[in-house]
Amino acid sequence: MRPIAPAREYDVPVLADLNNRFAPDGLTLPRSESFVEAHLDDYRVIRDDDGHVVGCVCIDEYSPSLVELVSLAVDPSQQGKGLGAQLVKAAVTLAAKRGYPEIFAVSFSDSLFQRCGFHFQDIDVSGSPLEKQFIDGVAHGVVPGLRQRAQSKLRHQAPLVIAECSRQ
């Protein structure tokens, strides 16, 4: 198991590049260096033996009681080694430490998130608090970039997975 650490300023271009490798396939949303800079404290990374970032994850506040796991990316040469699960768990731990009761992700990696304690919930479940926040945020532009995230998620029909931070 590799240690997980907070990202550093000098990681910004690398984090944007790592994340954006997967954007053309719809697996991540494109991230600019300015996004990474603005969320630097929300990123966690895994480095190889030479200190190079080989995996990253970020949490993005969705509401005062809910955070989204975003920008989960592992270098293709390092995939299959459990780094994704380590990063997911680090994001859940960070969210819990900051007092968020729930964390969610929209992902095509069903089994990964299930192994990490997430469960499925449909985005369009009528009356759920998450759905109300999602719809309100999209309709009213409450969260910067939310409309883009919502459109991408709905376009790709990725399942929504949720975990309670207090149980992690």
Residues 25-78 have pLDDT tens digits of: 878 888 999 999 999 999 999 999 999 999 999 999 888 888 888 999 999 999
Which residue matches tokens 């997975």?
161
157 by Cβ neighbours in 10 Å (0-12 / 13-18 / 19+) ranks as exposed
pLDDT reading at 106 higher than 60: yes
* Overall residue count recorded for the chain in this entry: 168
pLDDT (0 to 100) of residue 81 = 94
pTM of the model: 0.76
pLDDT confidence tier of residue 165, bands split at 50, 70 and 90:
low
Tell me the pLDDT of the chain averaged across its residues: 78
